[in-house]
């Protein structure tokens, strides 16, 4: 039987007149796309994943990577991807894998929401000349605050532990193992320099990252990798990972070949064994059980730091979030369908979960209706592309957001979605020392810091335009939002009016 | 050694655990908790060299995240004993509950009586950290599920026929389980094989059983009279060929 050929997804075009045979591309490509034969360089497009590393490195601009047209006859129902996936599965009998977040054309709600600005009747604020407050506190807030009446101001209410952030943007959970140590270092340092938090993911805390641990949210997942007393003590908050937006209902699985010595030391498992973090925590079958783990962690950390819970945004997200808050979580992380990952079954990533915009709105509404919104902060995650997305998320009801993919793009990621191969040319999603050294953590930290700075400046501009001088006044302030091209159900769920409607 | 007795009657777990922490802070080496009735998280996250004797029934997550102390329960314990425990010792004179030793990475738990479901789930060893759970009685379903390292022993000292429930070692990819006596192979997870223990296994087993017998005043010779079966994982990579790359 004739075997179907895979199509090259990309075409590597080389301008032979510009090529100076320096062989940088040959040496650098981890997918072995380029090869040098005396006086000529040839490229095998079949191997190209479209990460554009060679293109960016080529000193003469001789290389161009172009998306190729599928050489099968596509139709409205059968895309080239569908067909080639079936061929691949017939070849291997395996589950399709992918990396990064869902790329399917589900409605982009952020793209259908517009912001307000002040005109005439209320003044806008110029953030360049007037104070603008982005400081955000993550943690439970008391119902009432009692201030003592003596001459010195005195807070009589005991405030639950809080994370103090200089901007409502944090780096989401990406474990050492899923990304390189240099990538972890870049984000950790940027978070510390800027005054926000990063997240260890479920892979433990590498010893080289301990200088940044005071701004680390340490994750506890079902496999408990790297979790011990020191780990819990080191971080500024603890996050119980129930699920993630890229693969709701699916556990983590770091294959044995990605557990070399350093990863093994950090996760505290032998080299080369599979690191299995199944979707269910087998001590959590109910909200009551979740409460038990939340308080086990609070007891272990002597109630000194916030303990939160991360879930994927699914159909029942609002009642689940309510249960989590009632179980005593200090923050709830909701990860939408666009949330990224180092590896997930393609079909799960593309078909399970709900958009984060809707999830934020329904969770915030539900907690308000029940009168428990103050008990926990909401952190939204899953595909934030710009400061505008962040502003809209906060106006819908989030306290802060987690960015993952955007942060990795700042470090060089070109969204080729092949994180699961461990061959990341940009030195991010790999443990190969030849590749990881391409990412200089000092430069990475500066770039991630720059991203935080740029987005924070933009948020201030947008706030000022609305006549708001503190991010606190934007939180859940849905009057600042209007829908464009959304139907009644969507507007009702988002809790916003359609553009054109006045206050 | 300084010793203190705390009456736990009617105390909320937070109050009780605060008292334990305070006592340890004051350098107490032995704490006796009287009238314990379901208070959770006793010994949770403790690292100090201290002995805690519990009279009564401690609540869930006893010794969770613990890394050092020795806890003696003069009664039964409930669920989640030794959850993510890193070091230390828990001696239970009665029965233990479900998920005992969940993700335990070091130290040991000795139970004189029976234990519940999913005991030893996710147990893992790393370098000199080696978790050990010895059960004097029987265990229920899913013993050693996803087990990645360490040692689980079920002795069945009380003469029951069925020492373990179903699905023993499902997803197991490291460590070993020893069963004293008969085992119906239909109860095993598909990732597990059965063999007779070799010399090294027996030496390891003797070491822990000697301590176990000393704790509960049992005759080692009597315990060793019945032969043991060893359960081992077929592979360290049970889910290695799942994906289409």
Is the CB of B78 inside 8 Å of chain A's CB atoms? Answer: no
pLDDT above 90 covers what percent of chain A?
A: 84
Looking at the complex, report in whole angstroms how far the Cα of residue A54 sits from the nearest Cα belonging to chain B: 23
pLDDT digits (tens, 9 = 90+) for A358-368: 999 999 999 99
pLDDT digits (tens, 9 = 90+) for A279-304: 888 888 899 999 999 999 999 999 99
Q: Are strands A252-254 and A275-277 parallel, antiparallel or unpaired?
A: antiparallel
pLDDT band for position B103 (cuts 50, 70, 90):
very high
Is the CB of B39 inside 8 Å of chain A's CB atoms? Answer: no
Chain B residues in contact with A223 by the CB 8 A cut-off are: 103, 122, 146
pLDDT of A1 higher than 90: no
Fold annotation for B95-233: Pectate Lyase C-like (2.160.20)
Backbone angles phi, psi at B140, to 5 degrees: -95, -165
Domains (ranges, CATH) in chain A? 10-94 (3.30.70.20), 136-498 (3.20.20.70)
pLDDT of A481 higher than 70: yes
The 3-class SS string of chain B reads CCEEEEECCCCCHHHHHHHHHHHHHCCCCEEEEEEEECCCCCCCCCCCCCEEEEEEECCCCCCCCCEEEEEEEECCCCCCCCCCCCEEEEEECCCCCCCCCCCCCCCEEEECCCCCCCCCCCCCCECCECCEEEECCCCCCCCCCCCEEEEEEECCCCCCCCCCCCCECCCCCEEEEEEECCCCHHHECCCEEEECCCHHHHHHHHHHHHHHHHHHCCCHHHHHCCCEEEEEECCCCCCCCCEEC
pLDDT band for position A204 (cuts 50, 70, 90):
very high
Exposure string of B46-68, with b = 16+ CB inside 10 Å and e = fewer, is: bbeebbbbbbbbbbbbbbbbbbb
Put simply, the chain A residues between 384 and 423 with a CB less than 8 A from any chain B CB are 420-421
pLDDT of A34 higher than 90: yes
pLDDT above 90 covers what percent of chain B?
A: 89
What are the angstrom distances between the C-alpha of A23 and each of A42, A62, B88?
Answer: 10, 12, 57
Residue of A254, A267, A282, A301 for testing the chain B interface, max B β-carbons within 10 Å: A282
pLDDT band for position A148 (cuts 50, 70, 90):
confident
Q: Single out the residue of A154, A157, A158, A188 nearest to residue A171, CA to CA.
A: A188
Looking at the complex, report in whole angstroms how far the Cα of residue A210 sits from the nearest Cα belonging to chain B: 20
Query: For B126, which of A268, A295, A296 is closest by C-beta distance?
Result: A268
**Are the beta carbons of A424 and A193 closer than 8 angstroms?**
no
Q: SS3 for A366?
A: helix
Which pLDDT does position A269 carry in this prediction?
A: 87
**Are the beta carbons of B26 and B44 closer than 8 angstroms?**
no
Place of tokens 């200088």: A211
Looking at the DSSP bridge assignments, the partners of residue B67 are: B87
Chain B residues in contact with A229 by the CB 8 A cut-off are: 45, 47, 65-67, 86
Is the CB of A304 inside 8 Å of chain B's CB atoms? Answer: no
Residue with the larger pLDDT of the pair B64 and A263: B64
For chain A, give the mean pLDDT.
94
Stretch B234-245: mean pLDDT: 76
State the pTM of this model. Answer: 0.95
**Between chains, do B237 and A256 touch, taking CB under 8 Å as contact?**
yes
Which pLDDT does position A277 carry in this prediction?
A: 82
CA–CA distance, B242 with A251 (Å, rounded to integer): 14
Q: SS3 for A444?
A: helix
The 3-class SS string of A278-324 reads CCCCCCCCCHHHHHHHHHHHHHHCCCCCCEEEEEECCCCHHHHHHHH
Stretch B2-31: mean pLDDT: 97
Query: For A228, which of B14, B105, B239 is closest by C-beta distance?
Result: B105
Report the chain B residue with the minimal C-alpha distance to residue A300: B45
pLDDT band for position A276 (cuts 50, 70, 90):
confident
Chain B residues in contact with A276 by the CB 8 A cut-off are: 146, 148, 171, 173, 239
Is the CB of A229 inside 8 Å of chain B's CB atoms? Answer: yes
Query: For A295, which of B41, B105, B171 is closest by C-beta distance?
Result: B41
pLDDT of B168 higher than 90: yes
Is the CB of B102 inside 8 Å of chain A's CB atoms? Answer: yes
Exposure string of A420-443, with b = 16+ CB inside 10 Å and e = fewer, is: bbbbbbbbbbbbeeebbebbebee
Report the chain B residue with the minimal C-alpha distance to residue A278: B146
ipTM of predicted complex: 0.94
CA–CA distance, A114 with A112 (Å, rounded to integer): 7
pLDDT digits (tens, 9 = 90+) for A70-113: 778 889 999 988 998 999 999 999 999 999 999 999 999 999 99
Number of cross-chain residue pairs from A and B with Cβ atoms under 8 Å apart: 129
Stretch A254-276: mean pLDDT: 84
Write the CB contacts of B160 (distance below 8 Å, at least 6 apart in sequence): B137, B138
pLDDT digits (tens, 9 = 90+) for A318-376: 999 999 999 999 999 999 999 999 999 999 999 999 999 999 999 999 999 999 999 99
Which pLDDT does position A3 carry in this prediction?
A: 74
pLDDT band for position B240 (cuts 50, 70, 90):
low
pLDDT digits (tens, 9 = 90+) for A391-406: 999 999 999 999 999 9
Looking at the complex, report in whole angstroms how far the Cα of residue B215 sits from the nearest Cα belonging to chain A: 27
Place of tokens 């290389």: A63
């Amino acid at each position: 039987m004739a075997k179907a050929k895979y199509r090259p997804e990309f075409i590597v075009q080389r301008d032979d007149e510009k090529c100076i045979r320096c062989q940088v591309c040959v040496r650098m490509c981890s997918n072995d796309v380029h090869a040098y034969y005396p006086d000529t360089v040839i490229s095998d497009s079949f191997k190209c994943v479209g990460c554009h590393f060679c293109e960016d490195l080529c000193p003469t601009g001789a290389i161009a990577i172009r998306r190729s047209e599928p050489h099968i006859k596509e139709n409205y129902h059968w895309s080239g991807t569908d067909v080639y996936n079936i061929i691949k599965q017939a070849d291997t009998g395996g589950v399709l894998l992918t990396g990064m977040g869902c790329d399917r054309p589900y409605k982009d709600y952020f793209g259908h929401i517009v912001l307000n600005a002040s005109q005439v009747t209320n003044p806008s604020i110029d953030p360049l000349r007037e104070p603008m407050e982005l400081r955000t506190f993550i943690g439970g807030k008391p119902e009432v605050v009692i201030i003592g009446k003596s001459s010195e101001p005195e807070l009589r209410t005991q405030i639950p532990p809080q994370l103090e952030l200089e901007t409502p943007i944090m780096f989401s959970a990406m474990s050492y193992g899923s990304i390189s140590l240099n990538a972890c270092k870049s984000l950790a340092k940027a978070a510390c320099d800027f005054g926000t938090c990063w997240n260890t993911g479920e892979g433990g805390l590498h010893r080289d990252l301990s200088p940044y641990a005071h701004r680390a949210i340490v994750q506890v997942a079902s496999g408990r990798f790297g979790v011990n007393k020191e780990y819990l003590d080191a971080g500024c908050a603890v996050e119980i990972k129930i699920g993630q937006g890229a693969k709701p209902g699916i556990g983590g699985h770091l294959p044995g070949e990605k557990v070399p010595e350093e990863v093994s030391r950090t996760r505290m498992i032998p080299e080369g064994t599979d690191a299995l973090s199944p979707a269910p925590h087998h001590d959590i079958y109910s909200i009551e059980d979740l409460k038990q783990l939340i308080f086990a962690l609070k007891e272990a950390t002597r109630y000194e730091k916030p303990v939160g819970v991360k879930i994927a945004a699914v159909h029942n997200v609002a009642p689940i979030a309510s249960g989590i808050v009632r179980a005593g979580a200090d923050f709830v992380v909701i990860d939408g369908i666009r949330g990224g990952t180092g590896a997930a079954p393609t079909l799960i990533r593309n078909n399970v979960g709900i958009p984060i915009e809707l999830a934020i709105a329904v969770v915030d509404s539900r907690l308000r209706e029940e009168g428990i919104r103050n008990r926990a902060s909401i952190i939204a995650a899953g595909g934030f592309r710009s400061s505008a997305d962040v502003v809209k998320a906060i106006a819908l009801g989030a306290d802060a957001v987690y960015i993952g993919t955007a942060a990795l793009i700042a470090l060089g990621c070109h969204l080729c979605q092949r994180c699961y191969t461990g061959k990341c040319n940009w030195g991010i999603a790999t443990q190969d020392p030849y590749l990881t050294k391409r990412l200089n953590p000092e430069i990475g930290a500066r770039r991630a810091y720059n991203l935080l700075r740029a987005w924070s400046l933009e948020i201030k501009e947008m706030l000022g335009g609305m006549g708001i001088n503190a991010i606190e006044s934007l939180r859940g302030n849905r009057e600042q939002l209007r829908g464009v091209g959304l139907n009644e159900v969507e507007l009702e769920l988002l809790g916003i009016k359609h553009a054109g409607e006045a206050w | 050694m300084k010793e203190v007795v705390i009456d736990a009657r009617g105390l909320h777990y937070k109050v009780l655990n605060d008292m334990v922490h305070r006592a340890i802070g004051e350098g107490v080496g032995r704490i006796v908790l009287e009238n314990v009735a379901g208070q959770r998280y006793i010994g949770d996250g403790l690292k100090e060299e201290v002995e805690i004797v519990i009279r009564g029934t401690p609540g869930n997550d006893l010794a969770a995240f613990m890394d050092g102390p020795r806890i003696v329960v003069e009664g039964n314990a409930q669920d989640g004993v030794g959850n993510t425990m890193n070091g230390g010792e828990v001696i239970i004179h009665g029965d233990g509950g479900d998920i005992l030793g969940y993700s335990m990475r070091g130290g040991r738990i000795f139970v004189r009586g029976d234990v519940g479901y999913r005991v030893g789930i996710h147990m893992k060893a790393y370098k000199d950290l080696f978790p050990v759970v010895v059960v004097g009685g029987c265990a229920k379903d899913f013993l050693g599920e996803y087990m990645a390292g360490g040692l689980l022993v079920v002795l069945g000292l009380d003469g029951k026929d069925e020492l373990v429930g179903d699905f023993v070692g499902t997803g197991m990819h490291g460590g070993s389980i020893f069963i004293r006596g008969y085992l119906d192979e239909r109860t095993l997870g598909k990732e597990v094989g059965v063999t007779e223990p070799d010399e090294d296994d027996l030496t390891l087993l003797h070491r822990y059983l000697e301590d176990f017998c000393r704790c509960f005043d049992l005759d080692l010779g009597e315990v060793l009279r019945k032969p043991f079966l060893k359960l081992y994982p077929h592979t360290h990579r049970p889910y290695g060929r799942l994906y289409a790359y």
